[in-house]
Amino acid sequence: MIPPDQHLQIGSLLFEGLDQIDLTGPFEVLSRIPNTTYRIYGKTADPVRDHRGLRITPDAAIADAPQLDVLHVPGGFGQEALMEDTVVLDWLRAQAGHARVFSVCTGALICGAAGLLMGRRATTHWASFHLLRYFGATPVNERVVIDGDWIFAAGVTSGIDGALRLAAELRGDDVAKGIQLYMEYAPEPPFNSGTPETAPAAVLQQARKAVAGMTAQREATAQRIATKLGIIVPTAAE
């Protein structure tokens, strides 16, 4: 826990084609942590569209961000375009040198492309889980993984759980509990279909088919980056 009177700079990275709830789930929590400045940073200050079309505008461009205490990196298929974007990757590396990093979903792949995952225990969306090895990370199949100063949330809505864990780490359990109460976060999923382990086989098969193209593209990118980073990926029977 950080002393309550220490002001914190929190920033989320926003980019074209992100999965909006990777940002907006955590936003609901992060924007309510006391004694913080929380802003959304884009590569430019221009509006972007999420993967399904929601239009969100950043507060400022990354070039205008201060050194952050907490850096939140969401995911979504738009992550592909950032994987070899040296401006964004340089910024992430510079920020991560001092900030706690909170990665959600395939935000982990962006962090990996910046060379920041080597030797870390990490997680990401189930469909990209096997790609973590390309970045030298140890994949951990848990919804939230804490590795030192880093917090990883698995896919999409897990960012809400990760953000509450982060709020507790930063400001103590009671602050996080208060935010949870405000958000009325006592989830009641109508089905038990939220993970590959629990979803009905036919639903899982259909979902894998739907993301197959995306996953193949992500894997090709990950392979290219692994070569650049000099990472030798063990040929797993995964």
Residues forming the site for a second copy (CB under 8 A): 19-21, 24-25, 27-28, 31-32, 38, 40, 47, 52-59, 105, 125-126, 143-144, 154-158, 160-161, 164-165, 168, 173-174, 176-178, 180-196, 198-200, 202-204, 206-207, 210-211
Nearest residue to 15 via CA among 53, 59, 47, 63: 47
In the complex with a second copy, the residue whose CB is nearer, 146 or 229, is 146
* Residue 4 near residue 35 (C-beta atoms within 8 A): yes
In the complex with a second copy, the residue whose CB is nearer, 150 or 231, is 150
Residue 130: count other Cβ atoms within 10 Å of its Cβ. 16
Shortest CB 113 distance to a second copy, Å: 21
Annotated catalytic residues are: 105
In the complex with a second copy, the residue whose CB is nearer, 17 or 178, is 178
Shortest CB 168 distance to a second copy, Å: 6
* Residue 191 near residue 177 (C-beta atoms within 8 A): no
In the complex with a second copy, the residue whose CB is nearer, 54 or 94, is 54
| SS3 at position 7 | coil
Shortest CB 224 distance to a second copy, Å: 26
DSSP string, 124-181: --GGGGGGGGGGT-EE--SSEEEETTEEEE-STTHHHHHHHHHHHHHH-HHHHHHHHH
C-alpha to C-alpha distance for 123 and 140, rounded to whole angstroms: 6
Shortest CB 150 distance to a second copy, Å: 17
In the complex with a second copy, the residue whose CB is nearer, 26 or 136, is 26
C-alpha to C-alpha distance for 220 and 227, rounded to whole angstroms: 11
Shortest CB 176 distance to a second copy, Å: 6
Two tokens at 15?
């980019």
C-alpha to C-alpha distance for 196 and 200, rounded to whole angstroms: 8
